[in-house]
Amino acid sequence: MSKESPSNIVIFVNVDWFVLSHFIKYLKKLLNEGNEVTLITADTGKIQEIKDEGVKVNTIALDKGYSGIFKEINSFIKIYMAIKELKPDVLELITIKPILYGGICGRLLGVNKIIFYMAGLGAFFTSNGLFSRLKGFIIATLYKIIMNSNKSRLILENEDDLSHFQSLLKIPKDNFFLIPGVGIDINSYPKKKYVRLQKNIKILMIGRLLYDKGVMEYTQASKIILESYPDIEFFLAGDSDGSNPSSISPEDLDLLKNSTHINYLGFVEDIPLLLSETDLFILPSYREGFPKSIMEASASGTPSITTDVVGCRSAVIDNETGILIKPRQVESIVNAIKFFLQDLEQLRIMGGKARRHALDNFDERILTQLHIKVLKE
């Protein structure tokens, strides 16, 4: 197989904002190398920003969840026709529905190379509900059918998912690639000039407002900590995501907005600035691909408390760049916070190690080049 970069690349992602937050540098690099790049995605108001970077965009209506049989069939037909018309040398699929629908279309159309970028496995693989587990089983079965081809290339973001898919699929081991996330612009996260070692530290969680991000556990832990340490400030940055089955209810969102123990910030544009004023980062998620928020916290020199689950444990070196805790347990979050409060020097020590780890492992320039290399294999 030729090692030359393909000339016609079609990338299918569920929504435009996710492209901007995670993959725009990758698309620009592909264009700079002389490739023709077309993005298929749903329009949530960010399309023009993507076009301004020189990327061709084919918009298509696509709900994250199930929207009714007729709408789903209509979406599938439009996806099929778009890919057929574009005639890609390489079709790259990112997020669950593009992987399912785009994968079927790619196989039917005989696309020479299909790249499946597994950026986490979604809410169906974290929920304990019977219906969600059934959906998870169905999706996993479809993955197996769609991906079992020598034309498939799989990108996994963590070792757990890599092992899972290698056991699930009967394709050559050389068709699997481990890339720890999309990375970040390290230069945007300057080293902290100082680390506060007083009791009034600032604690932050960043993430979409989903139950399986551990939002409610975080808020409950903050309430418990403030009973003994009233000078600490807790912050929560992130938007709600009504299209996600794990999105918090309007009632819980109102509680967050009116909380006396959490400073709810909503969507924050300048994450580097926010992290520069943060002493401790928390992500009590149930499952991740490779959490960008932990990369960002580490680059800023902020230690992380996160769960010992798929994805999260790959982003933190336990007791060096942060602390791994049990998932779904408020008490675990409380105890980890108290560890730092009882030895504030650890904020500086682990923060410094986290930054060095980020410099060595989370540079988007290196990870983007690894991503592009998959297209040439």
Task: Place 69 in a pLDDT band, splitting at 50, 70 and 90.
Answer: confident
pLDDT for residue 47 is more than 50:
yes
**Is 171 among the domain residues?**
yes
pLDDT for residue 64 is more than 80:
no
Whether 200 and 348 share a structural domain:
yes
Percent of the chain scored above 70 by pLDDT?
91
Whether 157 and 221 share a structural domain:
no
Domain CATH code at residue 157: 3.40.50.2000
Whether 163 and 29 share a structural domain:
yes
**Is 1 among the domain residues?**
no
Whether 49 and 163 share a structural domain:
yes
Task: Place 276 in a pLDDT band, splitting at 50, 70 and 90.
Answer: very high
**Is 107 among the domain residues?**
yes
Q: Specify the number of domains making up the chain.
A: 2
Whether 221 and 310 share a structural domain:
yes
Whether 123 and 270 share a structural domain:
no
pLDDT digits over 109-163, tens only? 999 999 999 986 655 455 566 666 677 778 888 888 899 888 999 999 999 999 9
Burial 352-365 (b: 16+ CB within 10 A, else e): bbbbebbeeebbbe
**Is 2 among the domain residues?**
no
Task: Place 2 in a pLDDT band, splitting at 50, 70 and 90.
Answer: very low
pLDDT of residue 376: 80
Whether 273 and 370 share a structural domain:
no
Whether 166 and 17 share a structural domain:
yes
Nearest to 184 by CA among 94, 37, 290: 290
**Is 3 among the domain residues?**
no
**Is 288 among the domain residues?**
yes
**Is 317 among the domain residues?**
yes
Whether 246 and 148 share a structural domain:
no
Whether 211 and 167 share a structural domain:
no
Whether 209 and 137 share a structural domain:
no
Cα separation, 35 vs 57, whole angstroms: 15
**What letter represents residue 300's amino acid?**
S
Whether 255 and 312 share a structural domain:
yes
**Is 264 among the domain residues?**
yes
Structural domain range at position 107:
8-183+364-376
